[in-house]
Amino acid sequence: MTLAADSATPAELTEARTLLARWDAQQTGYIRHRAERFQTIARVVAAVVDGTSAPRILDLAAGPGSLARAVRAEVPAGHLVVADKDPVLLQIAADTFAGDAHAEVVAVDLADAAWTQAPAVAAAPFDAVVSSTALHWLQPETLVRVYRELAELVRPGGIVLNGDHLSYDAAAEPTLREIAAKDDAAMQHASFTGDAAESKVDIWDAWWAAAASVERYRDAFAARERVWGDELHVAPPTVSLEFHLAALRSAGFRETGTVWRYLDDVVLYAVR
């Protein structure tokens, strides 16, 4: 299903942009180098599609479309497909991309293999597929299948870029695992307590409460409960960087590796 913002008033579109800005501030409060991660992904995409007149780019599990916007800044001629499962984040994405003829916002559920049949996705091939802070929520068997499906959706020479939090192994890498955990805690303390708290940066629950107070998104919140069910309260599985890279190689990508890393914050890549 493709979403649009046809019924939104100017005030509602302004509210959507405000929620997007608050989302970005909240996410940055948890992820120390989020902007650098996004810029790295966007610049690599720009290099891969250089010389392509109308590159097609899929932002997978895109949330409200923040990464897609970073890519658009580097690839202004790109056609964006912004895909996610969450009805609230999708409607905010649709509202903030209102009037953009080269952006499609589409509802997909990666747990359902039929997600590739959504018209905006089935119109592959894509020159690039990007994702950030999302695919770690997939169960390992689903992640392996999605990577195999991406190998069919990306053109030869195209690229997949996934920026995510991939924890160090507790048995094999305990020292860096501890350092990374302390770094995360220090970042969140600096973002959400003391003087930072006065800046009104939302924590996770506060952002969702703010979005829930907006009348336009009432139906989307009701749909969110139906779409997610108990999944909203289930912790994500622990899947290593090595698992991701092995799954991508097995899917048929000819080059895999990391393009950027800060402790356990990683941008991995796979070239078709």
Residue pair 127/271 in contact by the 8 Å Cβ criterion: no
Instruction: Tell me how far apart the alpha carbons of residues 16 and 14 are, in angstroms, rounded to a whole number.
Output: 5
Percent of the chain with pLDDT over 70: 96
The reported pLDDT for the residue numbered 230 is: 77
Residues of the chain with pLDDT under 50: none
User: pLDDT tens digit string along 177-203?
Assistant: 999 999 999 999 999 986 655 567 899
User: pLDDT tens digit string along 225-272?
Assistant: 999 887 767 777 889 999 999 999 999 999 999 999 999 999 999 999
Angle between helices 204-212 and 10-30 in degrees, nearest 10: 170
The reported pLDDT for the residue numbered 124 is: 87
The reported pLDDT for the residue numbered 197 is: 55
Instruction: Tell me how far apart the alpha carbons of residues 81 and 122 are, in angstroms, rounded to a whole number.
Output: 11
H/E run at residue 232 = none
The reported pLDDT for the residue numbered 8 is: 84
Dihedral sign of CA atoms 169, 173, 176, 177 in order: positive
The reported pLDDT for the residue numbered 238 is: 83
